């Protein structure tokens, strides 16, 4: 089946409900609470801290060296200060390079070791909740019904101007919903590849039509 849009093009009609299992973050749990994200944050913090220390050490050492050279050469204090401020940008940048060279490799090895030790299945279960999602393609928008475990179900229709669609090959579709949790729809939710293609074509046609009408 198909329908004609306002500009005369033909858009496919997809009237089958799509039902699949979806994991979403538990209420009050930010994405960064997942173990792997915490590890990466710690690594980034450690690198930043070490490079800052290296910068400070190099700047202080450079200042001391310039002061010693100035004193030994009999130059006035003003000459030493000019030399120091002239070399300061170079010392600051060199400190960052040295700090990165000495810390990135060590931090990377530590992070890799920690990541390998994480029980990813346990981390996923602790920070997410399973919900059954049913999608229905309507003329007005995408109807989304959610049935979270241990919570009441909800149904909402998102006008097509509130839907962002992105297909990832033959494996899945990412759907961002304005004001709601995004969804990753696996191709396994469909009976076969042709049905998955029909769903993608229909949703994409509705989204493009909504964008055209709004001038986006």
| Residue that finishes a domain, picked among 95, 122, 149 | 122
Same domain, 151 and 192: yes
In the sheet that 128-137 helps form, which strands lie side by side, from edge to edge?
A: 18-25, 128-137, 141-148, 154-159
For residues 158 and 190, state if they share a domain: yes
The predicted model gives 138-166 an average pLDDT of 92
What domain count does the chain have? 2
CATH number at residue 209: 2.30.29.30
Tell me the mean pLDDT in the region 5-13. Answer: 55
Looking at every residue in the chain, the average pLDDT score rounds to 74
* H/E stretch holding 115: helix 77-117
pLDDT at residue 32 in the model: 47
Domain that holds residue 79: 33-122
Mean pLDDT score, 176-205: 93
Q: Are residues 116 and 133 in the same domain?
A: no
Same-domain pairing of 111 and 63:
yes
**Residues 48-60 pLDDT 10s:** 666 666 666 666 6
Verify that 84 and 8 share a domain, yes or no. no
Whether 63 and 138 share a structural domain: no
Distance CA(170)–CA(150), nearest Å, equals 32
Domain limit, last residue, from 122, 143, 172: 122
50 and 117 assigned to the same domain: yes
């Amino acid at each position: 089946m198909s329908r004609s849009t306002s500009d005369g093009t033909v858009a496919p009609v997809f009237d089958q409900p799509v039902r699949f299992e979806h994991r979403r973050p538990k209420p009050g749990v930010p994405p960064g609470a997942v173990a792997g994200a915490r590890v990466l944050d710690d690594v980034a913090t450690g690198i930043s801290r070490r490079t800052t220390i290296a910068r400070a050490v190099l700047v202080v050492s450079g200042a001391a060296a310039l002061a010693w050279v100035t004193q030994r050469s009999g130059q006035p204090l003003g000459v030493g200060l000019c030399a120091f401020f002239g070399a300061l940008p170079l010392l600051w940048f060199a400190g960052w390079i040295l700090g990165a060279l000495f810390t990135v490799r060590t931090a990377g090895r530590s992070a890799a070791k920690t990541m390998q030790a994480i029980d990813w299945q346990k981390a996923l279960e602790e920070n997410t909740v399973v919900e059954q999602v049913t999608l229905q393609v309507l003329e007005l928008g995408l109807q989304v019904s959610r049935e979270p475990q241990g919570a009441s179900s909800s149904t909402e229709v998102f006008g097509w101007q509130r839907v962002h669609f992105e297909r990832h090959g033959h494996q899945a579709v990412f759907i961002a919903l304005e004001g709601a949790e995004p969804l990753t729809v696996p191709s396994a939710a469909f009976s076969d590849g042709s049905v998955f293609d029909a769903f993608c074509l229909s949703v994409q046609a509705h989204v493009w039509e909504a964008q055209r009408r709004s001038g986006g």
